[in-house]
Amino acid sequence: MLIAEQKHSFSNKHLLTSKNNVTRHSEQNVSNNKLININSVEELSCSNKFGTFFGVPQSVFDRVWQELSSPKKNSVAYVSMEIGADPDIFHPVQDFLQEEGFTQSPEPAIQQVLDKYLHGPRKIPNYSGGLGVLAGDTLKSFADTHIPVIAISLLYREGYFSQLVDSRVGQIDQATNWSPEATPTLFQLQDPEDPGQPLEITVPFFNEYDHPTEAKAHVWMKMEVSEELDYFVPEFLLDYFIPSSPPWVREAGLRLYNATSAIMKANQRRMLGSGILPLTEALGLTPGTIHLNEQHGVTVTLHLILRHLEKTLGKEYRSTMRDEDIMAAAREVAEHIVYTIHTPVKAGHDRFARSLYTGISHETCHQILNLLAIDADSPHEYNFTAFAMRVNRAINSVSRLHRDVTRKQFPDVADKIKAITNGVHHLTWISETRAELFDKTKELKDWRDDPGVFARMQLSDEQNFCKQLQQAWYQDNQVLVEYINTMLSEHRTQMDTTWIDPPNYLSRLPPEDSCLQPGVFTVGFARRFSTYKRADLIFDDIPALADILVRNNWQINFIFAGKAHPQDEPGKSVLKLILDNQKELYKRSNGLAQLIFVPGYDMRIAKMMVSGVHTWLNSPKRPLEASGTSGMKAAMNGVPNLSVMDGWWVEGYHDGATGWKFGYEGPLNADSLSEHPDTLLYAEDSQSFYQLLPQVLELFYERPDEYMQLALNNLRLNVPIFNTHRMAAEYVRKYDLELPAQTEARIKDFQNLYQSESSDS
Ligand SMILES: *Cc1c(COP(=O)(O)O)cnc(C)c1O
């Protein structure tokens, strides 16, 4: 067979060494000794008693699975309510198949998998925004750096929601239809006792009458495979939408962050947290550390405490346990928990009325929560953030400024709160065009393995590099502009054929007046629409904004995207306000300013935007944006940020070398954490934006070479720091893992790139 005869090995970029194909990647370097051989596509098929999977050779699969199930408990369970890792923007297995031209297999089962990889759906809508995308990026870096990690989340059959936008009503929410069965990289685990049947795990629950009941879940595995297909991180997604689960459990598992009722919300959290131990036990996996990515899954802590009490006090512990016993058990359990808090904003912290929670859990649990989830400010509620804060071995914030704010919010544990500044997965977010340039730049050899090379980059011909970077940028801008122009024209027809009124004013103008042009200064803004993010800040004074443009005859495109949580009415009104501003801005600026809203923000749109714009705008109320990651994605592409001094930008801003700052920077005060409209500082922050904007536009249009220096500076100063390889390496310190010497050395190198906690700032 053709496939069986093809022989090749590959490294970083899958270097071909077969005699027929030697030339395809001959310019690539064999960069390290991690070379593994893949002789045929069948070799990417792997199996164990839970089923047959695809993506890494059997030997890799066995080695990793063995590490994850070792009695030494030398691995980590990463728990997250959401994981964003859409295969349409990063997928080493699919890239490999495409590069090698693998489309056929004589084995029907493998052919089926190949078809999914090559033609299957590209979205796994199990995320709502930053938290999920961060989780996905983190897991990819764990895979790339060979850290033994499993991830646990839920599978949402209706995703988060799909966003339609109508200019009169604003956002319209729809269920997302997707099929896990048809999605590549997702595999349903099989029951080893009953081959061919799905594995079903049992999660003990209590119903509202305080009676024990059981929830059931099927388990899906998604593999986050390393760039070199020589390691993987399995993500286990619990699917509770199955006939054997009670209807209220099924319903609570359908949609991410379903908040139609408090009880629905509480149950969804429990389905994550309480499913962890049954899952790892069913699979024989032995994580010694649980990393809570936000507190959503914190009920696992409750279960660990219950188990510890049973172990020390015996079967009758429920009737004999005293408060001291609970506190002692909590101290033991804490040694196994690492917790990352992601926001100072209240809506991000789960609180449940005690009366509600006691209705759905056992009395023993209340006794524990009464000690550990109390909140002095709100005695009638259980505060799950407070619970996570109290029982752990390490608490991490997601930037230095966020650490300082979190310490103020939780003074009792202030000393314990340390910063590990977020990052993004550089291989996911650097555009193809830029990646091609980096691949062929010899001073950047190994950039895929080591984002630190940008810090040491000594270009022999900087001018030439800049020119090519500029060209790549222009191309990415062109791609974005074409995407938008196509969208506008589709919306124009949609206006005739559906009841949806297109979200963009430009769709109402004749096509010749309403096309974006490449090369026009393009500002990008995309994030969740929460009021504190102030998407509408720069439109606070449209006449002032228009005046800057008209006076200088500067053209500008503003590209906006993002979703508001279906229950967030104020967030939805900000989105609507953006739409309402389009016409006035266009008219007042004589058409120089075009403001576009792109519906359905997802990772693909994000990647197109962060690489296709000329600056990335971030205008939250300081200090409410704990970190922010979309700005880092822009920086990965050399795109300068234009941002309030909040979150990561406090660390990524280097006196104007990497971008600009604006807005209030004074000391934090009593109003700082408030989201009340009167405290959002619109007037003063927007004024400082209008003062800054002319400098930015002048630099872009008049001194493009200097503008390119900003791009270079971002590559040198920010890529080495704000990537998830470095971030994962900082987390490894908190995990207490025993790693092979080679992995350890690599982790050290990444740790040396930056210490989030060092307070030289
Ligand atoms: C990166 C990303 C986010 C998070 O961006 P922030 O700047 O942290 O708000 C949200 N949604 C998508 C689709 C993303 O790619």
Where residue 32 falls among pLDDT bands split at 50, 70, 90?
A: very low
Span 549-602, pLDDT tens digits: 999 999 999 999 999 999 999 999 999 999 999 999 999 999 999 999 999 999
Amino acid present at 745? A
Identify which has the larger pLDDT, 400 or 500. 400
Distance between CA atoms of 14 and 228, rounded to whole angstroms? Answer: 7
Give 495's pLDDT tier (boundaries 50, 70, 90).
confident
The band of 708, judged by pLDDT with boundaries at 50, 70 and 90, is very high
| Number of domains making up the chain | 2
Rounded to a whole number of angstroms, the CA Rg of the chain reads 26
739 within domain boundaries: no
* Ligand 1 pocket, residue 720 CB under 6 Å: no
pLDDT, tens only, 383-429:
999 999 999 999 999 999 999 999 999 999 999 999 999 999 999 99
Q: Which atom of ligand 1 is nearest to the CA of 606?
A: 15
Position 72: which residue type?
A: K
222 is written with which tokens? 């998604």
In whole angstroms, give the CA distance from residue 303 to residue 336.
Answer: 13
Q: Return d(Cα 733, Cα 250) in angstroms, integer.
A: 38
* Cβ of 160 below 6 Å from ligand 1: no
* CA 146/CA 149 separation, integer angstroms: 9
Contact 458, 443 (CB under 8 A): yes
What φ, ψ does residue 147 adopt, rounded to 5°? Answer: -100, 130
Q: Tell which of 358, 385, 419 closes a domain.
A: 419
In-domain check, residue 730: no
State whether 463 and 607 are in the same domain. yes
Pocket test residue of 609, 629, 648 for ligand 1, highest count of atoms within 8 A of CB: 629
Nearest CA to ligand 1 atom 10: 129
pLDDT at 12: 35
Residue 133 CA, ligand 1 centroid: distance in Å: 7
Same-domain status, 213 and 347: yes
Q: Is 630 in the pocket of ligand 1 (CB under 6 A)?
A: yes
Same structural domain, 97 and 211: yes
Residue 33 pLDDT > 90, yes or no? no
Q: Is residue 735 part of a domain?
A: no
pLDDT above 50 (res 55): yes
Whether the CB of 131 sits within 6 Å of ligand 1? no
Indicate if 391 and 445 belong to the same structural domain: no
Q: How far apart are alpha carbons 346 and 355 in whole angstroms?
A: 20
**Last residue of some domain: 419, 441, 468?**
419
Q: What spacing in Å lies between the alpha carbon of 129 and ligand 1's midpoint?
A: 5
The confidence score (pLDDT) of residue 369 equals 96
**Distance of alpha carbon 253 from alpha carbon 575, whole angstroms:** 28
pLDDT over 60 (residue 540): yes
Atom of ligand 1 nearest to the CA of 527: 9
DSSP SS3 for 745: helix
pLDDT tens digits, one per residue of 679-688: 999 999 999 9
- Note the pLDDT tens digit of each residue in 426-443: 999 999 999 999 999 999
Distance 236 CA to ligand 1 centre (A): 23
Between the CA of 555 and the centroid of ligand 1 the distance, in Å, is 27
| Cα 619 to Cα 536: distance, rounded to the nearest angstrom | 9
Closest CA to 126 of 157, 150, 94: 157
For residue 18, pLDDT beyond 80: no
Q: Where do the DSSP E strands lie in 384-491?
A: 394-397, 417-419
- Any atom of ligand 1 within 6 Å of the Cβ of 423: no
Query: Which band of pLDDT confidence, cut at 50, 70 and 90, is reported for residue 210?
Result: low
CA triple 134-731-269, angle to 5 deg: 55
Nearest protein CA to atom 9 of ligand 1, as residue: 527
pLDDT at 10 exceeding the cut of 70: no
Give a yes or no: residue 734 inside a domain: no
Specify whether the backbone of 458 is left (phi greater than 0), alpha (psi in -120 to 50) or beta: beta
436 plus 415 within the same structural domain: no
d(C-alpha 301, C-alpha 334), whole Å: 8
Distances (CA, A) of 703 to 326, 548, 568, 700, 709: 66, 18, 43, 6, 10
Give the pairing type, strands 417-419 and 521-526: unpaired
Overall average pLDDT of the 311-332 stretch? 96
Q: Does ligand 1 have an atom closer than 6 angstroms to the CB of 602? A: yes
Residue pair 99/15 in contact by the 8 Å Cβ criterion: no
Number of the ligand 1 atom closest to the C-alpha atom of 533: 9
pLDDT of 497 reads 76
- For residue 106, cis peptide bond before it (omega within 30 degrees of 0): no
**The token pair that represents 378 in the structure block:** 């709100």
Q: How far is it, in rounded angstroms, from Cα 32 to Cα 153?
A: 34
Overall average pLDDT of the 703-728 stretch: 98
C-beta atoms surrounding 539 within 10 Å: 19
Asked, for residue 732, whether it belongs to a domain, the answer is no
- The Å distance, Cα 280 to ligand 1 centre, comes to 30
CATH code for the domain in which residue 412 is found: 3.40.50.2000
Q: CA-based angle 200:205:209, to the nearest 5?
A: 140
What average pLDDT does range 617-640 have in this prediction? 97
Q: How confident is the model at residue 7 (pLDDT cuts 50, 70, 90)?
A: very low
Give yes or no: residues 414 and 517 share one domain.
no
CB burial string 190-208: b at 16+ within 10 A, e below: bbeeeeeebbbbebebbbe
Q: Which of 419, 454, 476 is the last residue of a domain?
A: 419
Tell which atom from ligand 1 comes closest to the C-alpha of 607: 15
Specify if 743 maps to a domain.
Answer: no
Is the pLDDT confidence value at 301 over 60?
yes
Domain range enclosing 185: 21-419
pLDDT value at residue 252:
95
Give tens-digit pLDDT for 84-138: 999 999 999 999 999 999 999 999 999 999 999 999 898 999 999 999 999 999 9
Please check whether residues 171 and 239 belong to one and the same domain.
yes
Query: What residue owns the CA closest to ligand 1's atom 5?
Result: 630
Residue 37, both tokens: 């051989």
Helix ranges (H only) for 124-189 are: 130-144
How many Å apart are CA 60 and CA 48, to the nearest integer? Answer: 12
What is the pTM for the complete model shown?
A: 0.94
Pocket test residue of 133, 399, 402 for ligand 1, highest count of atoms within 8 A of CB = 133
Is 103 inside any structural domain? Answer: yes
Residues 36 and 127 in one domain: yes
- My answer on whether 338 and 470 are in the same domain is no
Question: Which pLDDT value is given to residue 511?
Answer: 82
- CA 139 vs. chain centroid, Å, equals 10
Most confident of 108-112, 508-512, 603-607: 603-607
Q: Are both 633 and 500 inside the same structural domain?
A: yes
Maximum separation of any 2 CA atoms in the chain, in Å: 80
Which pLDDT does position 422 carry in this prediction? 98
Atom of ligand 1 nearest to the CA of 128: 11
Asked if residue 759 belongs to a domain, the reply is: no
Helix axis angle, 682-702 to 542-552, nearest 10°? 20
414 & 464 share domain: no
**Residue position matching structure tokens 């910063």:** 419
pLDDT, tens digit, 9 for 90 and up, residues 251-285:
999 999 998 999 999 999 999 999 999 999 999 99
* Burial tier of 745 (Cβ tally within 10 Å: 0-12, 13-18, 19+): exposed
- CA 309 from chain centre, in angstroms, equals 36
The Cα 75–Cα 146 span in angstroms is 11
Write down the pLDDT at residue 8: 34
Burial of 365: CB neighbours in 10 Å, binned 0-12, 13-18, 19+: buried
Same-domain check for residues 402 and 447: no
The per-residue pLDDT for range 148-174, each reduced to its tens digit, is 999 999 999 999 999 999 999 999 999
Backbone angles phi, psi at 289, to 5 degrees: -130, 140
d(CA 754, CA 486): 42
540: its two tokens: 């606070």
Asked whether residue 2 carries a pLDDT value surpassing 50, the answer given is no
CA dist., res. 606 & res. 604, Å (int): 5
* Residue 185 and residue 87 in contact, taking contact as beta carbons nearer than 8 Å: yes
